[in-house]
Amino acid sequence: MSTTPAQATPRVLVYTATAGYRHDSIPTAIEVLGQQQAGWNVSFAFSEDPNMFTNDTLSTFDGVMFVLNSDQVLNDTGMAALQTFFQKGGVYTGVHSGSACLYNDTNYQQATFERLNTTFPATANVPDRWTFEEEVYNFRSDPRDNGAVVVLTVDESSYTNNGTSSGNYPSQGSPHPIAWYIESPLSAQPLMANVPKAGRSFYTSLGHLNSTWQNETFINHVMSGLKWALDGASTRAYGVGLVGNNTSGASASASSGASGSSGASGSASGTASRTSATGSGAASASGSKSAGERVVGVAIPGGGKGMVAAAGVVGAVVAGVSIVL
């Protein structure tokens, strides 16, 4: 699991578009991520504009990070561009609903998450047993079938799972997957010519509440997973590949490169840019807890079984909720 130092600051597009339920933790996630840039040597561009997903625009990024999305947030053109991005060595990271299909009408619960891997960067600093209030995702397929290595699970006796699924789906496998990595995602195949390797993938299903995004252990969990994925060295920031930042010495400040951007608050550790949502698939009005949370990831053409194939899953349901797909 080797890593390679970057030759330039890796650029990551953080996509928080919603077309259904909207997490009230999105502003907190943006603020917190923006504060991490200099310390982790990464440059973020925050956007909810689906028009960012073109071959030309994505080619300037080393990675994409889907955070707290809902419903179908990209059209066919955007999905095709994302697939091409992966085939060119682009990196994927997903947080919470950034890869799931779910419907949520329940209360949050205390749950105890268990570390399965003590050496992987995203779990190296996580307690062996980590208890806090969170949603627990149940996935419609086993990410291990797509090459995932599960690094975090959940103690099934620590929460009440009274949800039911409306479909007959394959098992998610055991132990229950909560966070995982993939060294060479199926979504990147076939690689484009002159691309030496696929971009790595990291996904965590945690991150629903504002309080989670304010937890230093969780922040380290997310950023360590992202940094591990980038340090797989499949992009221009590392001197290879067909996508990414190849400007040596680029500062840890993000620019979206798209019209309609406005400044988002950062800190001494870097200033993040923010692109307003325009066009189909952009952010909708905020949902409510009673209205339910229905989260859909991005279907990647040719990317395996479906929903965010880069993450290695088909979809998800949440413990204590019912699927209505």
Share of the chain above pLDDT 90, in %: 56
| Residue 273, strand partner residues | 45, 263
Instruction: Give pLDDT, residue 110.
Output: 92
Tokens of 195: 């691309």
Q: Give DSSP secondary structure letters for 311-323.
A: GT-S-EEETT-B-
Instruction: Give pLDDT, residue 234.
Output: 97
User: Among 34-43, 211-220, 302-311, where is mean pLDDT lowest?
Assistant: 302-311
- Cα–Cα distance measured from residue 136 to residue 80, given in angstroms and rounded to the nearest whole number: 30
Q: Give DSSP secondary structure letters for 59-118.
A: TT-SEEEEES-BS--S-HHHHHHHHHHHHTT-EEEEEGGGG--EEE-S--EEEEEEES-S
Instruction: Spell out the residues 6+ positions from residue 97 whose beta carbon is closer than 8 angstroms to its own.
Output: 23, 68, 69, 70, 208, 293, 295, 297
Q: Position of tokens 């509440």?
A: 209
At 29, give phi and psi (nearest 5°).
-60, -45
Tokens of 83: 């697939």
Question: Percentage helix, strand, coil, to 5, in the chain?
Answer: 20, 20, 55
Average pLDDT, stretch 7-14?
A: 97
b/e map 176-210, b = 16+ CB within 10 Å: bbbbbbbebbbbbeebeeebebbbbbbbbbbbbbe
What is the overall mean pLDDT for the chain?
Answer: 77
Own/partner long-range contacts of 106-109 (Cβ < 8 Å, ≥24 apart): 106/162, 106/163, 106/318, 106/320, 106/321, 107/320, 108/133, 108/134, 108/135, 108/208, 108/209, 109/133, 109/134, 109/135, 109/136, 109/159, 109/160, 109/319, 109/320
Instruction: Give pLDDT, residue 109.
Output: 83
- Model pLDDT for residues 18-57, shown as the tens digit of each residue: 988 899 999 999 999 999 999 999 999 999 999 999 999 9
Tokens of 158: 């620590």
In this prediction, residue 102 has a pLDDT band, given cuts at 50, 70 and 90, of very low
Q: Position of tokens 């400040």?
A: 253
- Model pLDDT for residues 149-176, shown as the tens digit of each residue: 999 999 999 988 765 555 566 678 999 9
Q: How far apart are the first and last CA of the chain?
A: 38
> Chain-centre distance of CA 215, in angstroms?
18
Report whether 316 contacts 70 (CB < 8 A).
no
